[in-house]
Structure 1
Amino acid sequence: MEILVRAHSGLRYVVLGLLIAAIFVAFSKRGERNAPYSKIYLFAMIATHTQLLIGLILYALDFGVKVRFDMMSDKFYRFYTVEHIVGMLVAIVLITIGHSQAKKLNHGKVFAYYSIALLLILISIPWPFRNLGAGWF
């Protein structure tokens, strides 16, 4: 269990790095016609989907998040049972849509979808300064 928690926490930096790289590539190619497809889009999508699978396994194994009747009034439980999951799922859907646009060589839309997804991911991560029981790694 601890290995999965560490993997999920550590992989966030790989995901963030790949998304930033993909956004940079999409931004640099957005005005070009017939700019070639970049594999960084695929790597970013694979990393986020891998992160999703690890997160779902942790959630299924009950990663300290128990369904409670008063969970909406508790910041910790509300974050992990609603905000984190919904934010990340929406971000992963946007990344998947963005990747489909990358295959069509529409780099402007890739830039938009990946940028919005990155923003959602940054908001949905339990950073240590948010006091949600998570560390930097």
Structure 2
Amino acid sequence: MYPTVQFIHSYWAYLVVLVLFVASINAIIGYASNKEYGATNFRIALFTLIISHIQLLIGIVLYFVAPYFQVLLEKGMGEVMGDSTLRLYIMEHPLMMIIALVLITIGYSKHKSKLTSKPKFKTLAIFYTLGLLVMLSRIPWSAWL
């Protein structure tokens, strides 16, 4: 089960990063050029939210079936914190991805309450870009590329 879930999580991550990047750029361009917020912009923001939440669900399953989790159970948190690879996979990556997802979710929720286009784009640009930066900061690049 672990190899299958890891495969799905790894390749879905490419989609998440790509779509989040597109959504961030779309929001920045919309804000900078005073575009009218339309149905396409809404769909991009919503699609980004949905696929990132799906990635979270896949990641939660992966967290509990991964061999790294067994190390945590067997050796404890002290051993995990002493090993940079284990710390990345067990603590840093999951925590930062959850923070990134919280930022994306807050941005999406807050943008819906705005009445005009410029504040909608501004809210999405801020929160989605912050989410993207947080996400990029803790991707395990050695395993990803």
Please give the TM-score of this superposition, normalised by the length of structure 2: 0.82
For the residue of structure 2 that corresponds to 1:35, the secondary structure is coil
State whether structure 2 residue 56 is matched by structure 1 residue 47.
Answer: no
Identity value in percent: 35
Structure 2 residue 100 is matched with structure 1 residue 91: yes
CA deviation digits over 1:88-115, x for unaligned, max 9? 0000000001111332351101101111
Amino acid at match of 1:116: L
Which residue matches 2:79? 70
Distance (Å, rounded) in 1 between the aligned partners of 2:138 and 2:51: 16
- CA distance in 2: counterparts of 1:30 and 1:102, whole angstroms: 12
Structure 2: give runs of 5+ residues left out of the alignment: none
Task: Write the mapping of 1:21-40 to structure 2, written as runs, cut at 5 A.
Answer: 21-31=22-32, 32=34, 35-37=37-39, 38=41, 39-40=43-44
Instruction: Check whether the contact 1:26–1:108 (CA below 8 A) recurs between aligned residues.
Output: yes
The equivalences for 1:88-127 within 5 A come to 88-103=97-112, 104=114, 105=117, 106-127=120-141
Paired residue type of 2:10: S
1:30-80 Cα shifts (integer Å, max 9, x gaps): 15375225111111111111110001001122x021212321110011111
Match of 1:91, SS state, is helix
TM-score by length of 1: 0.87
Aligned residues: 130
What's the RMSD between the two structures over aligned residues?
Answer: 1.6
Retained in 1: the 8 A contact 2:17–2:132?
yes
Q: Return the structure number with greater helix share.
A: 2
- TM-superposed CA distance for 1:22, in Å, is 0.4
Aligned partner of 2:10 in structure 1 is 9
Unmatched tracts of structure 1, length 5 or more: 129-133
Q: Distance in 2 between matches of 1:126 and 1:55?
A: 13
Q: CA separation in 2, counterparts of 1:23 and 1:78?
A: 29
* Structure with max Cα Rg: 2
